[in-house]
């Protein structure tokens, strides 16, 4: 399985090891007659290969991940811009990576803005997060060579962690900041329109590879390759994956909807949707959000 390179280190014998987004490590330069990758020998070559795909045999073998902390591989910011001159729309979806220290405030990263302030942004959606683990799947499914970090409009691209590993209310640290998980990310039509794949938002929702949002409990500076570490877990049963199941798949499970909606740490928008479901039995029409209406 193809996995992205997110970093490097040297082993005890000073051989270079690539750190892959799946959590596995892979030696990338060996003595003859084994494969020699010349790009490994220079800092410029190694930096250029960050984000590129290598075949991970350990993934194929379903081997456990190697011991190393999850990190924020890449940080992206962007401001609203006009898209598609012929059929114009404005979005802050397209973001550019930044390698500089970036201030993370109560509502957003410095330099990051949203065009639609009704459905995006605000304290409950200060940081959009996506797992690097999913990129290999989408690269295989969609065959879009330009899908680099930030392709899903995320601010943080993180290694190792997926929707199975992160729970509503979790508090995570990145550098000096403290961040709390507020809700899963709900993919919308802008993702589909950006990549010109009409049902892409629906595909993302069905796979459960949605990503999630952080609210900011403590502001501070963040930088790519900083570790992301769990500080406190409040609701271990309510993973992002479990929340997605209730919201999108098990819509008539009133008990679970009520329990999820009662979590103090859940975003206000999700609380409102779930309360309406439980009280009236009404479900929101998702077709417009997904771009299928």
Query: What's the confidence (pLDDT) of residue 88?
Result: 63
List the structure tokens of 208: 């459960």
Residues 84 and 56 in one domain: no
Quote the CA–CA distance of 212 and 203 in Å, as a whole number: 16
> For the chain, how many structural domains are there in total?
2
Q: Which residues of the chain have pLDDT under 70?
A: 30-35, 83-86, 88-89, 91, 115-121, 293
Query: What's the confidence (pLDDT) of residue 254?
Result: 96
Residues 226 and 153 in one domain: yes
Half-sphere exposure of 217 (CA within 13 A, CB side): 16
Q: Residue 212 sits in a domain of what CATH number?
A: 2.40.33.20
Residues 127 and 153 in one domain: yes
List the structure tokens of 33: 């007659």
In a domain, residue 149? The reply is: yes
Query: What's the confidence (pLDDT) of residue 143?
Result: 83
Query: What's the confidence (pLDDT) of residue 91?
Result: 66
Residues 28 and 172 in one domain: no
Query: What's the confidence (pLDDT) of residue 120?
Result: 61
In a domain, residue 100? The reply is: yes
What Rg value do the Cα atoms of the chain yield, rounded?
A: 20
In a domain, residue 279? The reply is: no
Residues paired with residue 38 on neighbouring β-strands, in sequence order: none
Quote the CA–CA distance of 203 and 88 in Å, as a whole number: 24
Query: What's the confidence (pLDDT) of residue 163?
Result: 98
Quote the CA–CA distance of 265 and 88 in Å, as a whole number: 37
In a domain, residue 237? The reply is: no
Range of the domain at 50: 2-60
Query: What's the confidence (pLDDT) of residue 213?
Result: 98
pLDDT tens profile 203-212: 999 999 999 9
Write down which residue in 197, 213, 232 finishes a domain. Answer: 232
Q: Residue 21 sits in a domain of what CATH number?
A: 2.40.50
Quote the CA–CA distance of 241 and 208 in Å, as a whole number: 6
Write down which residue in 232, 260, 284 finishes a domain. Answer: 232
pTM, to two decimals: 0.82
Query: What's the confidence (pLDDT) of residue 142?
Result: 92
Length reported for the chain: 293
Query: What's the confidence (pLDDT) of residue 31?
Result: 60
Residues 140 and 192 in one domain: yes
Residues 198 and 85 in one domain: yes
Cα-flanking dihedrals φ and ψ of residue 165, to 5°? Answer: -105, -5
Half-sphere exposure of 20 (CA within 13 A, CB side): 25
């Amino acid at each position: 399985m193809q996995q992205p390179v997110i970093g490097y280190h040297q082993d005890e014998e000073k051989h270079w090891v690539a750190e892959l987004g799946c959590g596995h490590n892979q030696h990338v330069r060996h003595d003859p007659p084994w494969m020699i990758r010349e790009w490994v020998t220079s800092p410029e070559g190694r930096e250029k290969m960050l984000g590129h795909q290598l075949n991970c045999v350990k993934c194929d073998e379903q081997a456990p991940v190697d011991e190393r902390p999850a990190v924020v591989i890449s940080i992206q910011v962007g401001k609203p811009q006009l898209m598609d001159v012929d059929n114009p729309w404005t979005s802050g979806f397209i973001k550019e990576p930044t390698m500089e220290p970036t201030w993370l405030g109560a509502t957003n990263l410095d330099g990051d803005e949203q065009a639609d302030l009704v459905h995006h942004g605000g304290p409950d959606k200060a940081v959009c997060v996506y797992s690097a683990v999913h990129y290999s799947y989408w690269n295989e499914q969609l065959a879009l060579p330009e899908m680099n970090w930030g392709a899903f409009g995320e601010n943080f691209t993180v290694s190792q962690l997926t929707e199975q590993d992160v729970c509503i209310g979790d508090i995570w640290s990145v550098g000096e900041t403290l961040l709390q998980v507020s809700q899963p990310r709900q993919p919308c039509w802008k993702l589909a329109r950006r990549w010109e794949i009409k049902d892409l938002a629906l595909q993302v929702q069905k796979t459960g590879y949605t990503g999630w949002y952080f609210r900011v409990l403590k502001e501070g500076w963040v930088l790519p390759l900083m570790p992301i570490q769990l500080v406190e877990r409040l609701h271990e049963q309510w993973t992002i994956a479990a929340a997605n199941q209730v919201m999108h798949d098990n819509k008539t499970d009133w008990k679970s909807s009520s329990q999820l909606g009662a979590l103090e740490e859940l975003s206000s928008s999700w609380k409102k949707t779930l309360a309406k479901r439980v009280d009236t039995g009404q479900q929101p029409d998702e077709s417009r959000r997904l771009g299928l209406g």
